[in-house]
A and B are shown apart, each in its own frame.
Chain A
């Protein structure tokens, strides 16, 4: 049984209510203005003949759902990275895992035509792209894992992550240079991906992938708690360190890989959200931190989406810039406030 203090219960309730409110604000106030009366009647009647039906059900709702799952996925993968590497500054973006995903997709989209002499068939392309993205994420994760066995220093690992990420990005640029016009165009379109780029059809790939990753994360809290103490302690308490690591590994690859596959690299949600969760709930218990990170991630991502469509007139700001502007101050504040970074857990 998980015991919540009254204050923690209250914060959970507030976050839950806030996310529902933000979700509807996100749907109601898009980049194109919909009069409230018509917004309300279209949602209630669900009438395909309505003027706003397509805008709402083909674009706004899918986009809002993508924001929900993206936020949850990035937050949980960030939390898992931080505990796995015992590194409070870890996250899927900063460790280069998102760049690994890009590399995976580039290899597929740019490399496939070279090898097979044809474009990736559209029917298999959605799953193929996600799959390539997972593999790319997993490859970078594996590299960092190998390095972290030998090097324990937090900062060195981060530098390696940044290096791996940059190397992956550089490789992608080289491949773009040599790619055929058609495949480069396909790849560039992919890299421009945003929350709004995901169609209803793609959601049927995106959501199950994220749910699978979150599902694994939801059985891990007890093990993650034990992992905090360090490897020797974890083993001595009967934890199968390699098994748990593999599960974290699969979960993170699914989460960060899927997000990158559909929305492009989105930074700073993964690193900032777990810290906000720790501060709000004053705990290091993953039974609380995992759901808390999910809720905070969802809220922050929807908020970013709302901000991104503020300019109106059909303009949408790049989502990656918004999350960076929201996340970076949190990260800086965390670093300044805590001289001893290792105490952040």
Chain B
């Protein structure tokens, strides 16, 4: 069994992060004790300004820790030279670089920096690695395009390819899906998931797209001022950790539908009868209008969905009068 347990690639003990300026020390959160294993896809979540970026930079060893220990591959990080660190950990940061002249292939090639001489140009083996990295992210045919011609999603994939070319067991990404449209968010997360499975890389990314991350990440690191809560996304949902992230706001995370919802007062009960997809969608629309579903309580509003082969009909009974609606849109108007 022992050999089946994935090895720990990054581990912290009593780590404190933040900024030290002259005599003042600004610590961002309580001591962090956490461990990431080989092949895990980890999502770092937490509200804005809580210090996710600082944590990522600290774990990438490009920002000094205030205290505590970081171990990379069971060795203390303090024994790593900058070059050692760059061979173990790569970063996809939020910095945007746009250029009319830089080609995709050359940008990916920058990832080879720690592997060669610090002044020598790239060699043939580097070129092979660049090609592999581009094919890993499905961007092979873009190699000779200038990066300014890329869409946001393509740009992010190229930056991931650059991290692949750096060839490190650990990859950090700072909000890789911010500014991306929904389908690109899925593409990026699916790509990261594939890299953890196919190449056994440990991938740690920060994100606000909790609902999408939930479908891909093995582990959530939930960051609050009290420190880091770690667990499977579902466990953290069950124990209310994720719920607490949004305490005090109008937003809550609905575990059942894996979606963010607006915390609205559902002040009117309604009895909805029907089944299938139509039932689910009608329920969504009714909740948006401020109703909660309850057929046990006596109520003066009820909706019955009747389906025939040709069409679906919503029968709304309100104060004893029955309206026939042919779409949810009509039902909405009748209810207002």
Q: Which residues of A contact B (CB under 8 A)?
A: 1-2, 219-223, 225-226, 228-233, 235-240, 278, 282-285, 287, 338, 340, 342-345
Contact = CB atoms under 8 A, between A and B. Distances in A.
A238 B110 CA distance: 11
A284 B102 contact: yes
Contact of B100 (A228, A238, A344): A344
Interface string B56-74: 0100101000000000000
21 contacts: A1-B123, A222-B113, A222-B119, A223-B118, A229-B110, A233-B97, A236-B60, A237-B110, A237-B111, A238-B83, A238-B85, A238-B87, A278-B100, A283-B101, A283-B102, A283-B106, A287-B121, A342-B98, A343-B98, A343-B99, A345-B99
A278 B101 contact: yes
A36 B129 CA distance: 58
A225 B162 CA distance: 13
B113 A226 contact: yes
Contacts, number: 98
B101 A222 contact: no
Nearest to B172: A236
Contacts of A2: 121
B98 A238 contact: no
A345 B111 CA distance: 18
A304 B121 CA distance: 34
Contacts of A220: 119
B6 to A, nearest CB: 24
Contacts of A283: 101-103, 106
A233 B101 contact: no
B102 A345 contact: yes
B121 A228 contact: no
Given A236-B86, A237-B111, A222 B106 contact: no
B83 A284 contact: no
Contacts of B83: 238
Given A226-B110, A237-B110, A232 B119 contact: no
Nearest to B106: A285
B62 A230 contact: no
A239 B114 CA distance: 8
B229 interface: no
Given A230-B93, A283-B101, A343-B100, A222 B120 contact: yes
A226 B112 CA distance: 10
B100 to A, nearest CB: 5
A237 B114 contact: yes
A293 to B, nearest CB: 14
Interface in B247-297: none
A345 B147 CA distance: 11
Given A220-B119, A226-B113, A236 B100 contact: no
A283 B107 CA distance: 11
A236 B110 CA distance: 11
Contacts of B166: 237
Contacts of A238: 82-83, 85-87, 113-114
B239 interface: no
